[in-house]
Copies of this chain bind each other. A is one copy, B any other.
Amino acid sequence: MKTRRTRSQDSVLEILQKLSRAISAQDLYAELRKRDVRIGLATVYRALDALKLEGRVQVRTLPHGESLYSLSHEDRHHLTCLRCGDSVAIDECPVHELETHLNQSHQFRIFYHTLEFFGLCEQCQAEEVVP
């Protein structure tokens, strides 16, 4: 099964470029419909899968089971509170050197990585003591 460049993939890419942030498949679907693109939800998933395999789109799956899609290297890393779910983006990333190393030592072609921190935010730490 060869994979074709399709109109739906282009639509999906266009939205991701315009938004320039991570978004769920469902929201992406809503966004497309809002702009009068006639497309099915299943097709959004299929387009995202294809783009993922090409390394053009990256995915981060939340503990809740929902996945967020974004252009490769456009998503940031996060610090997420396990209690309230609040999430803060992080700028630092000490991983690139390791990524290069792994590319060679494992014969893998790495497209991207995810790095997420989990714990309790300041407020939830306080609530834990006096519930």
Q: Which residues of A contact B (CB under 8 A)?
A: 1-2, 52-53, 55, 58-59, 61-63, 65, 67, 79, 81-83, 88, 90, 92, 94-95, 97-99, 101-102, 106-122, 125, 131
Contact = CB atoms under 8 A, between A and B. Distances in A.
Nearest to A96: B94
A121 B92 contact: no
A119 to B, nearest CB: 4
A105 to B, nearest CB: 9
A42 to B, nearest CB: 16
B113 A109 contact: no
Contacts of A67: 63, 65
Contacts of A110: 79, 117-119
Nearest to A99: B117
A90 B90 CA distance: 23
Given A1-B131, A97-B94, A115-B114, A109 B102 contact: no
Contact of A108 (B79, B98, B116): B79
A58 to B, nearest CB: 7
A108 B101 contact: no
- Nearest 6 A/B pairs, CB to CB: A110-B119, A107-B122, A94-B94, A113-B117, A111-B119, A61-B61
